[in-house]
Every structure is written in C-alpha cells, then in structure tokens.
Chain A
Amino acid sequence: MSLPIMGVPDKKRKKLTVYTIEECINCKKPTKREFKDGDLVHKILDKCKDCDNNIMISLIYGEEIKKN
C-alpha cells in the first residue's frame, strides 16, 4: 500500500538517442549520425568531399525518439 506522496517526480523518463553533427568548416554542410565512442565536440575528422576542407564535429546532443 502506498500513499499519494507530494511532488512525485515524473516517472516517465525520456529515452534519448545521442547524435553527432559533423560540419565542414568551409561549406558548413551538416551531416547527422549516431554517436560513436571517441566523438568529441570540435574534433577534426576527415576532409570534405566537396571542398577538401576539414570536417569538424560541431555538436553532440541527445534527442528524444519519436514514436510513429
């Protein structure tokens, strides 16, 4: 038996999927993919296929999975 206690926190925890946003330093073309171990914000990755400049991780964030 349980009392209806005051201020019970929301038990429905949001499930977040973590994404990494890669962006070319020059042409600013963003690519979104799932987070991989070793990803860090502002880490330089490969060269951009379009303009041959560096691609950098611009953001890493968690986003709620939307049910269809």
Chain B
Amino acid sequence: MDLVFIIGAGNAQITSNPIINLAIVYLPLALLILYGQRLQVWLITNDLSKTVGRLKEMKDRSRQETIDHITEGIDNKEETIKRLDSFLEYFTIMPVDLDPAGVINKLDHIMTSRDIRMKSEIKQLFPDLDKLKANSVENVIEIATSFNFVYKIVRHFYLVGKKTNNFIILAQLQMIIPFLMLQADALSQAMTTFKKNQPVGDAIGPMIVGKLMLEHEKHDIAVDTIYAESDISGRKAILVTAKGPVGTVGQPGNAVQELIQKENPSLLIMIDAALRLEGEKTGEVAEGVGAAIGGIGVDKFKIEEAATNNNIPVYAIIVKQTIVEAISVMTKEIAESVDSVHDIIHRIIDERTKPNDKVIIVGVGNTIGVIQ
C-alpha cells in the first residue's frame, strides 16, 4: 500500500483501482527497465536479419549475373563456375605499415601483382575473348567479389552480435548498415553498366580529356595509359588518360612522373569525378588546387611527389556526383559538364601560363565505354 501511495503522489494513476494501475502502467515500466535492452537487441536483430537476407539476395543475384555473363557461349560451364567461386574468395593482404617508410612502393607492388594475376587468370580461362569482353568479365567479377566481401563482413558482425547478445555490436552494425546498403545498391547498378560497356559517372575525366585527344596521335606511356600532344592557346598540351574503351583507370601516377621528367611542364591540371555532399547538385563543376585522384593513394603519392620535386603547381577540376552515380551509367547532368570543363581548362591555361609553355592535362577515372 505504501508503494501505491508513493506512485499515486506522482499523479500517474489511470484508474482509482491500484491493481489495474499496477498492471497497466507500472508493471510494463518495470519490465522495460529490467528487460529494455533485451527488447532492443531483439528488435535490432530482427531488423538486421532482414537486411542481411536482402544483402544475401543481392550477392546471389550478382553471382548468377556474373555466371550468365561469363559463361555465354562456353561449353565447359561447370569448370568455369568452379573457378568463378574461387575468384569470389580472392583476397589482398595489405603491406605492414608499422614502419611507413616505403609503404607506397610495397602497396604499388601488391596491387600491380593482383591486377596482373587477375588478368592472366581470366586470359587463361577465356583465351578466345577479345580485350573489351575480357575486361568486361574482369570488371563484373570484381563487382561480384566486392558484393561477396560486403555480405560476409556484415554477416560476421551480425552473427557475433547475435551469438554474444551484444547490444553495442548490433547497434553499431545497425547504424552503419544504411551506408553499406547504399554501396551494395551502387554495386548492383554497376553490374549492368559494366556488362554493357556503358560509360559510368567516373568516366567523365577520361571523356573530357579524350575529346581533346581526338585526331591526335596517341602513345603508350604506362600500363593501360596513353598520352597525346596538342596545342591549346599556343601552349603545348600533353593530354594523359587511361586507354579506353575498356574499363580501366590505368596508371596515371607512373605516366605523370615520366612526363614531368621528360617535358618539365609549367602546370599540371587534373580532372576527376568527385563525391558530392548532400545538397550539392550532380554535374556541378568546381575548381581547386591539389592532385584530384582517388584510389588507395599510390598514384596520388607519385603525382604529388613529382610535382613537389619539380615545383609544378597542380590545379584540380572536379565534376560532382554521388557514389552510386560514379559507378553506374553516366547521367545527363554529368555528361553535359564536358563543355564547361573545357572552358575552364582554356581559361586556366590562358591565365596561368605563357605562350610556348608546356601543360600536362590528366583525365582521371575509369574509361569504360570511352574511346580516345
């Protein structure tokens, strides 16, 4: 009766009957205090199980799409599927960075070895494929591998959280899941685009520089990377980009390093796609300073080092887009930024260089579906 009296003093009575009050208000309250976290764990687990199921569906669909794409017109399908499943489990061990000096060279070596191995295995598996189709197969397998990786990581934390009833692990996973699902959605859309060799949003850099390269002689400068020489406003423009129309980003770092040594330019202009912030418009063009290039940092390091050692200013032009737009078919807003970027290139060259100067212009990005 004392309890009822104290609670009643807080004006939390629903009825005048204290037993009913206890059942309706105070019993659930006590249960929530005691078992609230367990209830939250149950709700989050329930929610996550649906997301993990959706990711599994997406991963299985991507595997099936990859199988359909690579086994088209092939007799020995079973052996190919077996090899594909081993591709999906491929991993790359990053170099030790306890002593960071020289880590870029090690990273470069590991990533180059990975690319060479992937290409040679695909060549071995499909010896009759032309370069465009072989590259399409490589890209599609990479997408399926990424899907597999994302799914396995999410499933791991989901199962660990569930097994140990750990609210913190589950809550953290639940918080990060929307962003992972965005990535998964982007990968799902990328699959179709890469199968059809359509240009993706990230191809805007190679497309802008590729247009300037048309009707000029192209030379190989690094793996999957070409350059051409042109005249812009009386300056020697050295145009660099990955070699299309296959889906590759090339090695702009090696190319720029070599060209800086050879040509000693007075300016370096880099054009790339960049992730936009929410609220910004897709296809918006912005200018800045610095090496406009993504990836794991090997190419960026090489370009920055070469530019710094030779005291060459690096100007950046970016075309804004989301992660989904960067790896799925190029949207109209992005495609229509080509002319405005050309205008900016001309303006920068006119304002920042003198006649007869040399300028390196690099179109950074995946050159899928774009011929130079």
Contact = CB atoms under 8 A, between A and B. Distances in A.
B214 A62 contact: no
Contacts of B244: 40
Contact of A41 (B179, B182, B207, B328): B207
B332 A42 contact: no
Interface in B6-54: 43-44, 46-47, 50
Interface in B146-187: 174-175, 177-179, 181-182, 185
A13 B181 CA distance: 13
Interface residues of A, number: 23
Contacts of A40: 197, 244-245, 369-371
Contacts of A7: 175, 178-179
Contacts of B174: 3, 5-6
A52 interface: no
A35 B203 CA distance: 17
B285 to A, nearest CB: 16
Given A3-B47, A13-B185, A40-B197, A62 B330 contact: yes
A7 to B, nearest CB: 4
A41 B371 contact: yes
B177 A62 contact: no
Given A43-B371, A61-B329, A63-B331, A6 B210 contact: no
Interface string A11-26: 0010010100000000
Contacts of B185: 9, 13
Contacts of B245: 40-41
Given A5-B174, A60-B199, A16 B331 contact: yes
Interface in B321-362: 328-332, 334-336, 338
B370 A42 contact: yes
Instruction: Say what secondary structure dominates the interface of chain A.
Output: loop
Contacts of B332: 61-63
B335 A59 contact: yes
Contacts of B334: 61
A11 to B, nearest CB: 9
B210 A41 contact: yes
A1 interface: yes
B335 A61 contact: yes
Interface in A29-65: 35, 37, 39-43, 59-63
A2 interface: yes
Contacts of B50: 2
Contacts of B336: 59, 61
Contacts of A2: 46-47, 50
Contacts of A37: 196
B175 A9 contact: no
A35 B332 CA distance: 13
B198 interface: yes
A42 B371 contact: yes
A62 B370 contact: no
B211 interface: yes
B275 to A, nearest CB: 15
A41 B196 contact: no
A41 B338 CA distance: 12
B196 A42 contact: no
Interface in B54-81: none
A63 to B, nearest CB: 5
Contact of B177 (A5, A41, A43, A61): A5
Given A37-B196, A40-B197, 14 more contacts: A3-B47, A40-B244, A40-B245, A41-B199, A41-B207, A41-B210, A41-B369, A41-B371, A60-B199, A60-B330, A60-B369, A61-B334, A61-B336, A62-B198
Interface of A: 1-3, 5-9, 13, 16, 18, 35, 37, 39-43, 59-63
